[in-house]
Amino acid sequence: MSEAISQEFGDEREPALTREQLKALYEAKKARPPVFRAPQQDIVGRLEELGLTEYALQLDHQGYAVVPPERVSTPDFVERVRETVLRVAKERTGVTHELDRAGNPGRYITDVTGGDSYLLFYLLFEDEVFEEWLENPALGAMIDYMLRGQGQLSSMVAFVRWHNPDITDKLTLNLHSDSPGSPEGVLPLGYDLVCNSALVLTPYTKENGALAVVPGSHRLARQPLPGEGIDQAVPVEAEVGSLILWHGGTWHGAFRRTNPGIRLNVTSYHCHRALKTQEKYQWHVPDEMLKRRSARFARILGADDPMGWGAEGPDFRGRAQYTERT
Ligand SMILES: O=C(O)CCC(=O)C(=O)O
Ligand SMILES: [Fe+2]
């Protein structure tokens, strides 16, 4: 150990590193790539390639957009998703669900179960079809556009809605924005903290209980007051296989279903990577799953996110390998 360091640290320094070791640490740290680099991607070019530019423009203009089925996926894939949601519904509720019969939560009661709807939470680990959905290029490109490539999946759920003759409100889900706001209630205007998407699994019409939106409401940068906007709310009519997207600030809810049968979707809610996710991903995504999926998949699940450390400090390298593949 060099004389200079030994004088500086005194004699009680037994596990202390030598001057040479400290220098080596300094060099190693300097040589490491920056940790939080923005993903290198051409977000707008990707929209162009996939024929999605007009939907991105609609999104910014109206606060929501409907990408038609042919730009999203195939009928076979959508059918697989729908069959899987029906299977999970049966497994969790104990009740056989059919498209032309009312839904029923059976034994699957959560804090948000209602008289004409319930949510099937945490679908990602239920079946590989949901992993495939998360890899969908159109979904990915639109989410990357809204969150500037800084998004993570917050939750993947299916909303199940049906007609209940005892419910008579125009909207069965009140208008709201999905975004957190400032303490003064201001929502971000120039960027999204969160954004949302629904893969349509049964036809969306007003009578079928479509998503309700207030066009242009994302520019108001605040939540609606109680009752505000209901008269301006329009149904988002969409065919099976469509992908509906909306900005974090957009006021939306759902029309009461008046037709028999059920309305189904897969809602993939995303948030900026600086926020907590609704459902647990990050360390809960098994390596096996990451191995069979893309670099974007790992990133969108926050698999490389070191936040939440203890005395051992951040593990920046941990699973970053999965986000660095090409
Ligand atoms: O699908 C719906 O009924 C609307 C759900 C909603 O508010 C949301 O997904 O944020
Ligand atoms: Fe919402």
Secondary structure of the chain as H, E, C letters: CCHHHHHHHCCCCCCCCCHHHHHHHHHHHHHCCCCCCCCCCCHHHHHHHCCCHHHHHHHHHHCEEEECHHHCCCHHHHHHHHHHHHHHHHHHHCCCCCCCCCCCCCCCCCCCCCCCEEEECCCCCCCHHHHHHHCCHHHHHHHHHHHCCCEEEEEEEEEEEECCCCCCCCEEEEEECCCCCCCCCCCCCCCCCEEEEEEECCCECCCCCCEEECCCHHHHCCCCCCCCCHHHCEECCECCCCEEEEECCCCEEEECCCCCCEEEEEEEEEEECCCCCCCCCHHHCCHHHHHCCCHHHHHHCCCCCCCCCCCCCCCCCCCHHHHCCC
pTM (2 d.p.): 0.92
Q: What is the pLDDT of residues 99-149, one digit of tens each?
A: 999 999 999 999 999 999 999 999 999 999 999 999 999 999 999 999 999
Mean pLDDT of the chain: 93
Which of 32-36, 72-76, 157-161, 188-192 has the weakest average pLDDT?
32-36
Is the CB–ligand 1 distance for residue 64 below 6 Å? no
CA of 1 relative to ligand 1 center, distance in Å: 65
- Specify the residue for token string 């709807």: 117
Q: Tell me the C-alpha distance between 315 and 326, whole Å.
A: 22
Other Cβ atoms less than 10 A from the Cβ of 113: the count is 13
What was the pLDDT predicted at 234? 98
What was the pLDDT predicted at 300? 96
Residue whose CA lies nearest to ligand 1 atom number 3: 254
Is the CB–ligand 1 distance for residue 97 below 6 Å? no
Is the CB–ligand 1 distance for residue 254 below 6 Å? yes
**Best probe residue, ligand 1, of 169, 172, 173, 268 (max atoms within 8 Å of C-beta):** 173
Of 209, 205, 183, 180, the C-alpha closest to 195 is 180
**Token pair for residue 41?**
């991607």
**pLDDT band per the 50, 70, 90 thresholds, residue 20:** very high
Q: How many residues does the chain have?
A: 326
Q: Which domains does the chain have, with CATH numbers?
A: 43-279 (2.60.120.620)
Q: What is the pLDDT of residues 66-99, one digit of tens each?
A: 999 999 999 999 999 999 999 999 999 999 999 9
**pLDDT band per the 50, 70, 90 thresholds, residue 1:** very low
What was the pLDDT predicted at 161? 98
pLDDT of 225 over the 60 cut: yes
CA of 46 relative to ligand 2 center, distance in Å: 27
What was the pLDDT predicted at 12? 63
**pLDDT band per the 50, 70, 90 thresholds, residue 321:** confident
CA of 31 relative to ligand 1 center, distance in Å: 46
Q: Tell me the C-alpha distance between 256 and 171, whole Å.
A: 5
What was the pLDDT predicted at 103? 97
